[in-house]
Amino acid sequence: MSANGVNAENRRQFYGPLVRVMQSVGVALMSVLIVLVFAQVVARYLFQSPITWAEELATFIYILTIYLAAPVVTAKRAHIRIDIAVNLLPARLRFIASALSSLVTTVFLGVVIIYGTRMAVSSVNTVSIILGVSYAYLYGTVTLGGLLMLILEFANLVRLLHRGCRDNLHG
């Protein structure tokens, strides 16, 4: 059982397949990114002939990888937290602090989704210089990552509240 009262095994059963897909896509994207950047360095410094589109594509892939990795970290409850003070609290107050933290995170992710969507919509006609790809796709990854994190964080919150209510009724 984790410190916030949500059983890790239950989390894995609930959204394990989604997390595995995101991890696999993330690993594939990161692999492409490493090969792409390596090829760019070799082409630029060894052959004095840079791959003109490599840097822009690498940036797009990097940003997409970040917004696919963040939901994985959310699902695993592995975001960096400073919980020294929270761990000193009695169990009931720890539960309240965890629920409040999850609720604030859920609201924040709602804001990220709203503004990510606004940026994507407003940049539909703006295209990257070399690849000619609309920046709406780039900003859309913010919305996608935020939405996936929101779903996973909300599921964590519901499970935390369910567990807290059950513990308070029976114990």
How high is the pLDDT of residue 12? 59
166 vs 31, which has greater pLDDT?
Answer: 31
Q: Model confidence over 86-119: pLDDT tens digits? A: 888 888 888 888 888 888 999 999 999 999 999 9
How high is the pLDDT of residue 7? 54
Contacts of 141 (CB under 8 A, 6+ apart): 63, 64, 67, 68
Q: Model confidence over 16-29: pLDDT tens digits? A: 788 888 899 999 99
Q: Model confidence over 38-86: pLDDT tens digits? A: 999 999 999 999 999 999 999 999 999 999 899 998 888 877 777 788 8
| Domain locations in the chain as residue ranges | 8-170
pTM of the entire predicted model: 0.77
168, 33, 51: which is closest to 99 by C-alpha?
A: 168
